[in-house]
Amino acid sequence: MLSVPTLWTVFVINFLALGLIWAYVARSYPAFGAARFWTGSAFAAAAGAASAMVRVVTMESLVPLLVAGTVLVFAACLAAMGVMRFHDRPVTWRGTALLSGLTFAGLSTFIFVYDSMQMRILIYTLAQVAPMALALKLLLTPENGHVSPGARLAGIVASLIIGIYVLRLVGALLQSGEFSFIRFNASQSLVILSLVFLSMALNFGFLLMAMDRLRNEVADLALIDDLTGVGNRRHLAQRLAEECARSDRSGEPFALLVIDLDGFKVINDTHGHAAGDACLQHFTLMAQTRLRPGDMLARTGGDEFCIVLPSSTLREGAMIARRVLEVCRVDAAQCTGNDIPIAVSIGVAQWTREIGAHPDRLIAAADHALYEAKKGGKNSYAAYEPAPALVPDMVELAEAALRRRA
């Protein structure tokens, strides 16, 4: 059986190592705010464990026990604050300061005023369980429809830690005599060993959460156009494939707009590429004001854009095209001085059964309509109207007419 001092030493070393890991994560990813709270939580837990180890070694004063209990509660609060920040919830220090202060006051009362081990364990258990229960609720709440594996692991571990504290409290209230973290016996050794293992597992869950979040952010960046902030060609390809597959199953149509800025090469040659980039950004902002929730604007390259309109017909696509044209025309009419007017041509196409699960066919149809819009004078839109399918009777009549001509 490992001795309690040895286990507390392992506890301190464990949290120091975790603190260094989180400090590295916080330094490498400054925008990841939760890492700073988890760094503070790990170092605070190491300090609290060190204070408890002093109490184990000296056995003369309960002051180290008071410090250890308060600091460990503070560490639990920091861990919960990290979970809140991870889930974009408002974080305040008021609750942490209040709970830590109440813990200090309660432990002081039952150390210096009225010595009661059971009451100290009760106060410490309630103070530890409260922030963990708050974190547990957030960890097991689905984010974007699912709970990440890291959050699920952290939630399970937090539940086990709460269970250990509750069982320890029940044992202290029902069993007379010493039932603390500082005595050398099998029960205390088992509890401390379990908490060492679970604390490592809890932080491993936090690390998995961080990795999952950072991986998703990298994946999102891979789908975003750097200049305009809208979707790029890859994102458009994914979205079109999804919409085509969905429409192929349900038969519900959707529409696609292909947009080209008229005279963009002249803008670049005359005013410079910086002015051209500003025009692209300005058009993006204008177009987004005319889209509906769920519509997707993407830049496919150069001065070319596409708009995906889910659950929309050709007529609805033409309506959105008119809106985009209108906002560009109004903006161009208000240009003065060095302002550069923006004109666009738009091709509109609708998914049909003939297109099926092939997005390239829909893009080709919208491109054909765009060509018609440019041929008709630019700064306008055109809709792609597929040729009607010939019914059998019409086919027979056409063949009969051909035979008569022969």
Note the pTM of the prediction, 2 decimals: 0.68
d(CA 362, CA 348): 10
- Across all residues in the chain, what is the average pLDDT? 87
Residue 113 lies in a domain: yes
Cα within 13 Å of Cα(167), Cβ side = 12
Tens digit of pLDDT for each residue in 195-254? 889 999 999 999 999 998 888 877 777 889 989 999 999 999 999 999 999 999 999 999
Question: What residues make up the domain containing 242?
Answer: 233-383
Under the banding of pLDDT at 50, 70 and 90, the label for residue 23 is very high
Residue 399 lies in a domain: no
Contacts of 287 (CB under 8 A, 6+ apart): 259, 297, 305, 307, 324, 327
Residues 28 and 54 grouped into a single domain? yes
Residues 264 and 300 grouped into a single domain? yes
Number of domains in the chain: 2
Residues 192 and 102 grouped into a single domain? yes
Domain of 82, CATH number, reads 1.20.1070
Residues 186 and 243 grouped into a single domain? no
Give, in order, the Cα–Cα distances in Å from 48 to each of 11, 74, 194.
10, 9, 17
d(CA 343, CA 325): 8
Domain of 353, CATH number, reads 3.30.70.270
Phi, psi dihedral angles at 113 (to 5 degrees): -90, -55
Residues 283 and 188 grouped into a single domain? no
Give, in order, the Cα–Cα distances in Å from 223 to each of 148, 231, 238, 287.
21, 6, 9, 19
Tens digit of pLDDT for each residue in 34-82? 999 999 999 999 999 888 877 766 666 778 889 999 999 999 999 999 9
Residues 138 and 179 grouped into a single domain? yes
Helix (H) / strand (E) element for 403: namely helix 392-405
What DSSP character marks residue 346?
A: E
Question: 41: which strand partners?
Answer: none
